[in-house]
Homo-oligomer: A and B are copies of this chain.
């Protein structure tokens, strides 16, 4: 698959070109079309389903989008322009306009006649939707009825009313969870008046699920999705990663300023400087587990802000047991190292408090962001470790300072 990367599109058939484009990322698409004229681009991508065409068009700047669209079949270009208006992260932005909808008063014969004329790509999901005179969604007819009922049957009489649809403004994550719940291969997207606008097929959903998973990783590790390709320009990778790292160091400096305040304690008991990284690392790890749980839980639709108290109570007990076990472990190791029971006690107590607090910080950051309806697209992972470092250092150093005469 890797050898596709630097492929010369010219040697490929139209179908191969399309297959390649479907799995390419934005930097690959830009690279490939750099020296290609808008009319040639239009020729290659014009035959793609509307939703995939939109995904590729979105890589280009507005002016170039217009140029490409001018070279595409007028009717299709009109539909695609409309699709470009929907938010990328909504059901509207995921849908394709290739679907079959018929007025309830037509006969099976009309439907079959239309299918005969359509290109085979038009309705890959083979659901046939039924609408009223206002284009409002009434139901769906099955392939079986279509084949087995007399051709003169009016479709109003064979429609199934139990059709499930999603509003075009539903966000991508919720749409994906909706699909997961009902195992449909396609779901119609409707507007406020229940008029059918397009369909989302299950393959679009798996694409969306991948993007969501990548977004979660951005939140957690500060890697951008544009940066996930080894073909992305180095300047892009640097532009995406460096500002975040530079900012993160400022956060770190705030955290270590606590250490600077307690320099006297460290000078008196250097062993504390050995202990500190263990405590900050372990509280970081504990916090990350809680953070991951909540971020993925929201993404998979397994939790909502209503679960706040349940998550809180759960964490109270989890943090308690984790803190006790790790506190005892470090207390024992510290005692064995210095043969000073008070040093062991300080180490254990500092670990317990830091772990307990870190667990709450880990669940609170994403819960809080969700609660104030901010999409945590910011890297919450680094913020977490800065807070856990800060509390870990403060607890360890202030406990050590209090017990300084016993542990010196």
Contacts and interface: CB of A to CB of B under 8 A. Distances in A.
Interface stretch (A78-86, A299-307, A370-378): A299-307
Interface stretch (A38-46, A140-148, A190-198): A140-148
A19 B221 contact: no
A222 B285 CA distance: 8
Q: Which of A118, A248, A306 has the most CB of B within 10 A?
A: A248
A116 interface: yes
19 contacts: A116-B147, A185-B185, A185-B202, A185-B203, A212-B213, A213-B216, A221-B291, A227-B293, A228-B302, A230-B293, A230-B314, A238-B318, A245-B286, A256-B275, A260-B274, A266-B266, A273-B273, A277-B277, A281-B389
A150 interface: no
Interface string A187-218: 00000000000000111011111101110110
A382 interface: yes
Contacts of A286: 245
Interface in A251-282: 252-253, 255-256, 259-260, 263, 266-267, 270-271, 273-278, 280-282
A224 to B, nearest CB: 10
Nearest to A286: B245
A51 to B, nearest CB: 9
Taking residues whose C-beta sits less than 8 angstroms from the other chain, chain A's interface range is 35 or more
B144 A311 contact: no
A110 B386 CA distance: 69
Interface in A25-58: 25, 49, 52
A241 B289 contact: yes
A368 interface: no
Contacts of A285: 221-222, 245, 248, 382
